């Protein structure tokens, strides 16, 4: 009986340690270590993988105007919206107000539509923090995984598209597709 109790306690402790190592403590999304583990170990088939890098536009203003506590609450709400909108795949907080989203088993049109749904959803959602109502937009870079790419290369491809989205007015989705121009037309 004692051994069974000890083993159950050890298993629970081990699970808690793993969660501490792999989860962002603020948003409860995966962290960079979890993203690396997901890409290298869990994601066996990367052929139809799309990577999205999302950055909240002008988020520094939220922290400057309302304080970091409110900014943290907004990040928690944003992470919840991202998880709810991303019906398949994973969400990782990569730092500050930047998130990486992995969309497996997808195609160009579907992954773009998911990115656009996230962008529009964030733009049209007012986040209530106490008596404050905060509205944000996001710039999103989207890239298709290229066979043989490392995680660093895949993220860099999406990050370059994020740069274009920010450079061209923010609150945009940019995609690195040969079939489409840099910025896709609105999908109906």
pLDDT of residue 88: 81
pLDDT digits (tens, 9 = 90+) for 111-132: 999 999 999 999 999 999 888 8
Q: Is 3 inside a domain boundary? A: no
Q: Is 184 inside a domain boundary? A: no
Name the residue with higher pLDDT: 182 or 69. Answer: 69
Write out the residue range of the structural domain in which residue 96 sits: 26-175
Domain count, the chain: 1
Picking from 19-28, 49-58, 143-152, 171-180, which range would have the lowest pLDDT averaged per residue? 171-180
pLDDT of residue 68: 93
Angle between helix 108-123 and helix 68-85 axes, rounded to 10 deg: 140
- On the 0-12 / 13-18 / 19+ scale of CB atoms within 10 A, 148 is exposed
Q: Is 5 inside a domain boundary? A: no
Q: Is 182 inside a domain boundary? A: no
Name the residue with higher pLDDT: 142 or 132. Answer: 142
pLDDT of residue 160: 95
> Is 60 exceeded by the pLDDT of residue 60?
yes
Q: Is 2 inside a domain boundary? A: no
pLDDT digits (tens, 9 = 90+) for 37-59: 999 988 888 989 999 999 999 99
pLDDT > 90 fraction of the chain, expressed in percent and rounded: 70
> Is 90 exceeded by the pLDDT of residue 10?
no
Q: Is 19 inside a domain boundary? A: no
Closest alpha carbon to 182 in 152, 162, 154, 156? 162
Q: Is 181 inside a domain boundary? A: no
Q: Is 11 inside a domain boundary? A: no
Supply the CATH number for residue 45's domain: 3.30.70.270
> Is 60 exceeded by the pLDDT of residue 11?
no
Residues whose CB is less than 8 angstroms from the CB of residue 49 and which lie 6 or more positions away in sequence, other chains included:
43, 102, 103, 104, 105, 106, 144, 145, 154
Average pLDDT for 158-187: 74
116 is catalytic: no
Contact indicator for 99, 93 with CB cutoff of 8 Å: yes
Find the catalytic residue in 40, 97, 116, 133.
97
pLDDT of residue 123: 94
pLDDT of residue 35: 94
């Amino acid at each position: 009986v004692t051994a069974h109790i000890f083993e159950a306690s050890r298993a629970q402790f081990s699970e808690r340690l793993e969660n501490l190592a792999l989860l962002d403590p603020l948003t409860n999304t995966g962290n960079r270590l979890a993203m690396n583990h997901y890409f290298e170990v869990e994601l066996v088939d990367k052929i139809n993988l799309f990577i999205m890098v999302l950055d909240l536009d002008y988020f520094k203003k939220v922290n400057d105007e309302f304080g970091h506590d409110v900014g943290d609450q907004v990040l928690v709400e944003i992470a919840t919206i991202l998880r709810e909108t991303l019906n398949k795949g994973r969400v990782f907080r990569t730092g500050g107000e930047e998130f990486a989203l992995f969309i497996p088993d997808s195609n160009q049109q579907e992954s773009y539509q998911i990115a656009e749904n996230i962008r529009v959803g964030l733009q049209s959602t007012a986040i209530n923090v106490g008596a404050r109502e905060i509205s944000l937009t996001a710039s999103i870079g989207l890239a298709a995984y290229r066979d043989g790419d490392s995680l660093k290369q895949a993220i860099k491809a999406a990050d370059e598209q994020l740069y274009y989205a920010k450079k061209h007015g923010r609150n945009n989705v940019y995609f690195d597709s040969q079939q489409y121009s840099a910025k896709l037309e609105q999908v109906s």
